[in-house]
Amino acid sequence: MSTTVLPSYEDAVARYEPVIGLETHVELGTNTKMFCGCPTGFGAEPNTQVCPVCLGLPGSLPVANRAAIEATIRIGLALNCSIASWCRMARKNYFYPDMPKNFQTSQYDEPLCVDGYVDVEIDGETIRIGIERVHLEEDTGKTLHVGGATGRIHGATESLVDYNRAGIPLVEIVTKPVPGIGARAPEVARAYVTELRDIVRSLGVSDVRMEQGSLRCDVNTSLNKPGEAWGTRTETKNVNSLRSVERAVRSEIIRQSALLDDGVRIIQETRHFQEDTGDTRSGRSKEEATDYRYFPEPDLVPMAPDAAWVESLRLSLPERPSVRRARLRELWAISEADMSSVVNAGAVDLIEETIAAGASPAGARKWWMGELARRANETGVELSALGATPVQVAQLQRLVDDGKLNDKLARAVLEGVVAGEGDPAAVMAARGLGVVSDTGALTAAVDEAIAANPDIAAKIRDGKVAAAGALVGAVMKTTRGQADAKTVRELILARLSS
């Protein structure tokens, strides 16, 4: 390990040109696995969703999952790829404990989709990322190392294997190398994965949740001096958040530039992103290319998607997320930055449905991006799974618009809705929440506040109207926040003006 002082990022990109490439794995949300009928649900007891096929027992035979092939073709079409009229699965032979068959059924030289692109926008400029290939394969199982401090194999006393994930259909999406983006390389990488995630999500073929591993990303980075050939690339594995994608590219650029400055050769290797420090650590060296001894899978017939079928899939593609975002941004009259926050919070559909249920765009956005987003962050639950529906949020906003709830009370009502106590109106009734604007009921509270604060009352009588705020506060306190502040203020001023 060199003891070089790391240059700043700005220094590094001033002297070297980065080239990036991304390999993304998307776990499809099919009901059953790729080659057998085992269920695919997340979080089941280990090794309860397995059978002879996905355990690779002798004599078992795979049958391809049509829904997975269709989903892969739809992803390919959405990424502007050509769809192969004929292709085969291949065996990728290697031994690893999480691979019960000792080979992975994948695709090699005959991918299902090739040669597409994705456009991403950075600061108003469109950058086109070429797509090399989109192919179909199966996922591996999961290994758990226990007994050690770090959860790694080093120091562990035993390793456990769960094959529930083995055989779940996995789509691999590989970009072409992306040169010429200079200092924006980390940002471009993040924008690409974001766009890819949104496209795949819009197709409804995967929940694309990076934190659950249904979207996993490997980032390739190399550096070269201007005018020289591309450098040796490293591959940073399993970067599991959008932010980490950006950080991984950035830290590789800094690390590699320091080595190149010292005349050290970059080794082609796998590296692991460190979430805590934001840098990468060396993994497996790829200097000697692994020979996977690929050969066409003899137990499966070739795939030959019918041209008319592919065409009908093309015609049924949903509106492109970038187009939809631009349309909604205009409709909702919000800035690009606000729209990005909405997208990142996974709130686009929820806000759209809340508006469809009668709320104004501002009202809908306020609840989903405010109180509800805060709760989602605190509890680590997705917005859509919090327990409040778009219809309920629209009802809540209507109660605020009608003056029956103020903001504070509305938040309390929302808490009841999220807790499963029913619609806003039911929560209001059950919890006794609601704005009191009945002047009869408020007058007594106003008189009480005036009597308790004679000094303030005197100031208001002398024309210092601003002092009324303190009395309004006192009334709000005695009415437990349920008074209509505007009505209270009017009552106080009327009482003290004569």
Rounded to 5°, the CA angle 164-170-171 comes to 170
Nearest of 192, 210, 195, 187 to residue 321 by alpha carbon: 195
Least distance between Zn ion and beta carbon 337 (Å): 46
Q: Is beta strand 295-296 parallel, antiparallel or unpaired with respect to 90-93?
A: antiparallel
Least distance between Zn ion and beta carbon 261 (Å): 52
Evaluate whether 22 touches 216 at the Cβ level (below 8 Å): no
**In angstroms, what CA-CA distances link 8 with 183, 244, 256?**
12, 19, 12
Nearer to Zn ion, 167 or 424 (CB): 167
Least distance between Zn ion and beta carbon 35 (Å): 8
Nearer to Zn ion, 61 or 264 (CB): 61
How many residues of this chain bind Zn ion (CB under 5 A)? 5
Nearer to Zn ion, 142 or 286 (CB): 142
Evaluate whether 296 touches 89 at the Cβ level (below 8 Å): yes
What DSSP string runs through 219-241? EEEEEE-TTSPP---EEEEEE-S
| Calpha distance 176→168 (Å, rounded) | 26
Binding of residue 54 to Zn ion (CB under 5 A)? yes
Nearer to Zn ion, 163 or 367 (CB): 163
Nearer to Zn ion, 54 or 449 (CB): 54
Site for Zn ion in 78-117 (CB under 5 A): none
Least distance between Zn ion and beta carbon 44 (Å): 13
Nearer to Zn ion, 51 or 69 (CB): 51
User: Which one of the spans 53-61, 77-85, 236-244, 453-461 is the region binding Zn ion (CB under 5 A)?
Assistant: 53-61
Evaluate whether 485 touches 442 at the Cβ level (below 8 Å): no
Least distance between Zn ion and beta carbon 94 (Å): 20
Nearer to Zn ion, 48 or 82 (CB): 48
Nearest of 124, 255, 122 to residue 189 by alpha carbon: 122
Least distance between Zn ion and beta carbon 101 (Å): 11
| Calpha distance 54→50 (Å, rounded) | 6
| Calpha distance 419→414 (Å, rounded) | 8
Least distance between Zn ion and beta carbon 32 (Å): 8
Least distance between Zn ion and beta carbon 42 (Å): 16
Nearer to Zn ion, 168 or 310 (CB): 168
Token representation of residue 372 = 């509800």
| Calpha distance 260→267 (Å, rounded) | 11
Among 51, 258, 357, 470, binds Zn ion (CB under 5 A): 51
Least distance between Zn ion and beta carbon 165 (Å): 11
| Calpha distance 30→169 (Å, rounded) | 8
Nearer to Zn ion, 54 or 196 (CB): 54
Nearer to Zn ion, 40 or 214 (CB): 40
| Calpha distance 168→41 (Å, rounded) | 10
Least distance between Zn ion and beta carbon 52 (Å): 7
| Calpha distance 104→294 (Å, rounded) | 10
Site for Zn ion in 288-317 (CB under 5 A): none
Rounded to 5°, the CA angle 464-467-468 comes to 110
Q: Would you call 20 helix, strand, or coil by DSSP? A: strand
Nearer to Zn ion, 36 or 189 (CB): 36
Nearest of 173, 183, 172, 198 to residue 120 by alpha carbon: 198
Least distance between Zn ion and beta carbon 106 (Å): 17
Q: x/- binding map, residues 9-38, to Zn ion, per CB under 5 A?
A: ---------------------------x-x
Q: x/- binding map, residues 441-460, to Zn ion, per CB under 5 A?
A: --------------------
User: Which one of the spans 43-51, 196-204, 358-366, 395-403 is the region binding Zn ion (CB under 5 A)?
Assistant: 43-51
**In angstroms, what CA-CA distances link 7 with 4, 254, 277?**
9, 6, 17
User: Which one of the spans 50-58, 238-246, 293-301, 371-379 is the region binding Zn ion (CB under 5 A)?
Assistant: 50-58
User: Which one of the spans 46-54, 238-246, 299-307, 454-462 is the region binding Zn ion (CB under 5 A)?
Assistant: 46-54
Least distance between Zn ion and beta carbon 163 (Å): 9
Nearer to Zn ion, 66 or 327 (CB): 66
Q: Following CA atoms 309, 313, 316, 320 in sequence, which dihedral angle do they give, to the nearest 10 degrees?
A: -160
Contacts with Zn ion, residue ranges (CB under 5 A) = 36, 38, 51, 53-54
